[in-house]
Amino acid sequence: MSSGPRPLRRGERHSGGRGASLERLLASVAHGDQRAFEKLYGEVAPRVHGVVRRVLRDPAQSEEVTQEVFTEVWRTATRYDGTRGSVAAWVTTMAHRRAVDRVRAAQAATDRDQRVAVREQTRAYDDVAEQVEIRLEQEQVRRAMSNLTDLQREAVTLAYYRGYTYREVAELLDVPLGTIKTRLRDGLIRLRDSLGVER
């Protein structure tokens, strides 16, 4: 079998196709007969195109799907079973199925694009909201820290922002360990109250 027949333009006809049996033509197509294929095309292309056009509405897509249907007819002619219906019914069913598949594929692509757009929009919104929340919290903490004494602020900064132990804080500030513990406790209580954290 050759790689495939030349696609025909819509409206193109071949003489001698009208009176031939579609079943005989398809049987010849199954054996690779291009002339038989051209005659078959001339007989059923208008009907196929009409079916496809009713589903798709778009002229360019309808032409494309019609050509796909006849490519499939050429490839699968050997699978035709006359006991299951006429050649015309077989081909138009194939055309309807392909047209519906094209609609579903287009809808799936649209749905996928919409989901991506919504996800991107939501992510962008979440990122902005999170940044705003972080900045507001940082501003609140800064304001609360400004209400502490110098010793409390230094002790809290060293212990909770820089990770020093109480003993290391006491050594760095040259203050007795007991005083540091008291200042830290008092500073944290004041911070908690300033930030409105419930006890």
pLDDT per position as a tens digit, 90-123 = 999 999 999 999 889 888 888 887 887 777 766 6
Do 147-195 and 1-129 fall under one CATH topology? no
Kindly state the tokens that stand for 67.
């050509």
Question: What pLDDT is attached to residue 47?
Answer: 93
Question: What pLDDT is attached to residue 2?
Answer: 44
The pLDDT tens digits of the residues spanning 46-76 come to 999 999 999 988 888 889 999 999 999 999 9
What does the domain layout of the chain look like in residue ranges? 1-129, 147-195
**How distant, in Å, are the alpha carbons of 89, 102, 135, 162 from that of 146?**
85, 66, 17, 18
User: Does domain 1-129 match CATH 3.60.9.10?
Assistant: no
DSSP code for 16: T
Q: Are 41 and 101 in contact (CB under 8 A)?
A: no
Our measurement of the distance from residue 62's CA atom to the centroid of its chain's CA atoms, rounded to an integer in Å, reads 25
The pLDDT tens digits of the residues spanning 148-165 come to 788 888 887 877 777 888
Helix (H) or strand (E) holding 122: helix 87-146
Higher pLDDT, 128 or 85: 85
DSSP code for 157: I
CATH class of 147-195: mainly alpha
Let me know how long the chain is: 199
Question: What pLDDT is attached to residue 17?
Answer: 39
N-to-C CA span, the chain: 85
Alpha-carbon distance 94 to 91, whole Å?
Answer: 5
Average pLDDT, the chain: 79
- Tell me which residue of 72, 6, 3, 71 sits closest to 35, measured CA to CA: 6
